[in-house]
Amino acid sequence: MIQADNPEEYIYIGVGSNIEPEINIPKSLHELKKYLDILNISPVFITPPIGVSKKQPDFFNCIVETKLIEEMTPIDLKFNVLRNIEKQLKRVRSIDKYAPRTIDLDILLFRDTIINSEDFVIPDPDIFSRDFLFAGLLYLNPNLIIYPKNLPLLSFVSCYEIHKLKINCNLTKKLWKEFLHEY
């Protein structure tokens, strides 16, 4: 893990894939490194697809703790950086928001910014409804305080079933070695 000087400057990006995740997640992180310093990466959680009626592969999900290399707004990051990386990795957006995808990049937290517009919400409200997002943030910073809960994540552990989450140890180890220079 790389230590940054000011945790209030951190940006947390959710990264997920269920089409060749062992290839697409590392590729997406290489692209992210052009715009963000990667400070830490949560374990990679294996989760079943949400809201689907037809069979599709499980998702591999992790959270990346980052800091901007050059200043940009959350809107610039989402629409000019993350969406472009998704396009590069052949992400197809369709009416079905739960369709399989090569890569899914979401801003979970952008410093202490709060945005509540029709097509963009920060902090991402899914943090408190998806165990793997909560667990990933908990791993990275258990004392993180997120609006609107306004208490440290650690104080909500009993509300989640994080003990049931599966971790892909091989991909986690690969990402840590490649991007954090651990192992």
Of the residues 101, 124, 130, 131, only one is catalytic, namely 101
The answer to whether 18 and 56 are in contact (CB under 8 A) is yes
101 is known as an active-site residue: yes
83 is known as an active-site residue: no
Of the residues 104, 124, 130, 131, only one is catalytic, namely 104
Say how many residues make up the chain. Answer: 183
Assign 3-state DSSP to the chain and report helix, strand, coil percentages, each to 5. 35, 25, 40
Please give the Cα distance from 25 to 59 (Å, whole number). Answer: 11
Of the residues 91, 124, 130, 131, only one is catalytic, namely 91
The answer to whether 28 and 105 are in contact (CB under 8 A) is yes
111 is known as an active-site residue: no
Of the residues 37, 106, 111, 126, only one is catalytic, namely 106
Residue 118: C-alpha distances to residues 59, 94, 114 (Å): 26, 18, 13
104 is known as an active-site residue: yes
Q: Which residues participate in catalysis according to the annotation? A: 91, 101, 104, 106
